[in-house]
Structure 1
Amino acid sequence: MKNECIPGNLMKPLLKFLLTGLDYLHTVCHIIHTDLKPDNILLGIEDEEIISELIKEEEKDPTPAKLYDNRCIYAHRNFGNLRGPPGRPKIADFGLAVRSPDDGTYNHPIQPDLLQAPEVILRAGWSYSADIWNLGVMIWDLLEGRSLFGASDPETNTYSAGLHLDEMISLFGPPPKQLLLRGGSATSYFTSDGNPVNRETQEARGTGLESTITTLFGEDKELFLDFVTRMLQWLPENRPTARELLKDPWLCS
């Protein structure tokens, strides 16, 4: 899956499969994926006849390829428009996955920059619920066809964790003090009063996600906002589990 716009009526059934898989990882395998992103979600082919057609086309007109560092790299082949609903999505690439720690949390950096949970940035200890935040941001990105967060330093054009936290504040309001107190790197971004370092100390008020959603409308939009807001909570312990999310009204509507 690439970071392109996916309509809500297609997102819901796909998301049910992903949440079912994530629940299995968390509750049965006791594994935290840590790297949920569109590149790591595989969709089954919608029509097996495509494979037969591909073989015939390759025999007739082979795809251009070249050797690079002892690897054969093939040019992209366009398969055209979807011929029907895609196959079941699958969570892939467990190269960075970890088993649940004995003491309850980990503290090392994980997740793609713009999908990082606040407890990961703040080094406040993360566990299964980091995957829930990760998935929540990814869903928003796929529905809107763009990134919820920018977090790019205009001077260096590189990722800035401080700007990322600023953007979270603008959407969700200031982080709870209890999260900052347990964050090993919180003092790099916030004062003892909970205000952003080197920024205006006026209490930030969250503008909410409502104005950022442009692809859903009416009751469907309201239900989605309730759904994704449950996932994008500052405090990890306030986020629902994958199994709980499967019962959410938006997915069942």
Structure 2
Amino acid sequence: MIEEERLPWYSPTSFYPVKLGDTFRSRYKVLSKLDYGSCSTAWLCRDLREQKYVAVKVCISNYPSIQRERAAYEHIHKLISSQADCPGADVVRTSIDEFDLNGADGPHHCFVFEPLTLDLAHTREILGGLFDESVFKTIVVHVLRALDFLHTKARMVHGDIRPENFFLRGTGDTSYRYLEELEHTHPSPRKIIGDRVIYMNHGQVGATDPRQHGVPVLCDFGEAYFGKDSYYVEIQPPHYRAPEVVLAIPWSMSADIWNVGLMLWHLLENKPLMTAAYDGEPDVVAHLTEMIALMGLPPKSFLRRAPAEVLEGLFDEDGHWLLQKSAPIPQLSLEQSETFFKGTGRDATDFLRFMRRILHWEPEKRPTAAELLNDPWLAGVKVSSTLLPGV
């Protein structure tokens, strides 16, 4: 099995059978496969009307988050068009166009976007030892700029902050022209099943050194929420999930701050700070023990916000952990877990202090994205157009 076929929930009729050379709406010609996700495939296309490269995301039929994603893009579009000053909007990707394709199991909604290159997970993997503090700080600043715009201007929670949802901007058309030519000279491997073709993507989009690409842009708003002061639904990748989400406490934009802190740690260290798992499976009890190890016991005032049935068997009325025998608190600390700065011989004090500002049980004690941008650890890091200015 290849690509989207490997997804446990894959169904041939749920994914639209895109073929290279297809033209959507007599406008978007399919040139190469960019990637696939849990609910979509992404394709590099040429906009025949505007004569430019675009990315088209083709969603599965009955895509559950379609209305939320569409509403998020519409909200951001209205905001940008009505306000002259929207700092951070340049690193938030929204749709250029939308349309539907008719499929065997119903319509497949499609979003048209600015094309981008590598996501941050692949960027980290490719750079390896070249991933240094200066590159990391540039990433941090632009990630926080995106969140500051979402939180301050759009009053929106992204809800799914992960390295795979930040993509580097290309520098001109070079990256996409290269991919189009590569498809002609070295056609992508494919699997043909009847009239259906499943393509593998080429993996590399553009320059071999990701530092020559642009800065990260926040994508994928299928889990975004806006319009209320707080929410109750489950969001976020399990190992990045904020305490209030884990304990079914109403959450807001500060949940994104926790989420981004854990993502940045993962990116720097190449491993998550917390596994939130037992025997490889997501586990709330294991997650809570890791949080307690890092932050101490949660304040009783915080626990009182959670439903009693959620706390039952976990904490007593004084806030003590009840599972010390079956689920003891592990030996875990930021100092013990940090290896990146140790490996370079540099002082990690400022970075660890930056992380401690984020790691709070109580959401209101976490700084905003704007406050984190002014943290002393990021002093002197400038907004740039490439991941490593001068490369």
TM-score class normalised by the smaller sequence: 0.7 to 0.9
Question: In the alignment, does 2:357 pair up with 1:230?
Answer: yes
Q: TM-score, normalised on structure 2?
A: 0.58
SS at match of 2:191: strand
Q: Which whole-Å CA distance do the structure 2 matches of 1:165 and 1:75 have between them?
A: 39
SS at match of 1:2: helix
Cα RMSD for the two superposed structures: 2.6
Q: Which whole-Å CA distance do the structure 1 matches of 2:291 and 2:191 have between them?
A: 44
Name the residue aligned to 2:170: 45
Amino acid at match of 2:372: L
- Pair 100,244 (structure 1): closer, same or farther in 2 beyond 3 Å: farther
SS at match of 1:66: strand
Post-superposition Cα deviations, 1:161-204, rounded to whole Å, max 9, x if no partner, equal 11100011111211111111111223352121212233249x96
Answer whether contact 1:46 1:82 (CA < 8 A) is retained. Answer: no
Q: Which whole-Å CA distance do the structure 2 matches of 1:26 and 1:13 have between them?
A: 20
Deviation at 1:47, TM superposition (A): 6.8
Question: In the alignment, does 2:317 pair up with 1:198?
Answer: no
The percent of aligned pairs where both chains have the same amino acid is 36
- Pair 68,107 (structure 1): closer, same or farther in 2 beyond 3 Å: farther
Aligned residues: 248
Q: Which whole-Å CA distance do the structure 2 matches of 1:110 and 1:11 have between them?
A: 26
Q: Which whole-Å CA distance do the structure 2 matches of 1:108 and 1:236 have between them?
A: 16
Q: TM-score, normalised on structure 1?
A: 0.88
Q: Which whole-Å CA distance do the structure 2 matches of 1:187 and 1:87 have between them?
A: 49
- Pair 139,61 (structure 1): closer, same or farther in 2 beyond 3 Å: same
Higher helix share: 1
- Pair 186,100 (structure 1): closer, same or farther in 2 beyond 3 Å: farther
Name the residue aligned to 2:112: none
Question: In the alignment, does 2:201 pair up with 1:82?
Answer: no
Name the residue aligned to 2:258: 133
| Structure of larger gyration radius | 2
Name the residue aligned to 1:172: 295
- Pair 21,151 (structure 1): closer, same or farther in 2 beyond 3 Å: closer
4+ runs deviating over 6 angstroms: 68-71, 203-206
Deviation at 1:221, TM superposition (A): 0.8
Q: Which whole-Å CA distance do the structure 2 matches of 1:199 and 1:69 have between them?
A: 57
Amino acid at match of 2:363: P
Match of 2:218 among 75, 91, 102: 91
Gaps of 5+ in 2: 1-119, 126-130, 381-391
Amino acid at match of 1:247: N
Higher strand share: 2
Post-superposition Cα deviations, 1:210-246, rounded to whole Å, max 9, x if no partner, equal 1111101466410000111111111101000000110
Post-superposition Cα deviations, 1:21-80, rounded to whole Å, max 9, x if no partner, equal 111111111111111011111111357433333222221221122367987532232437
Q: Residues 25-36 of structure 1: matches in 2 within 5 Å?
A: 25-36=150-161
Answer whether contact 2:314 2:321 (CA < 8 A) is retained. Answer: yes
Gaps of 5+ in 1: none
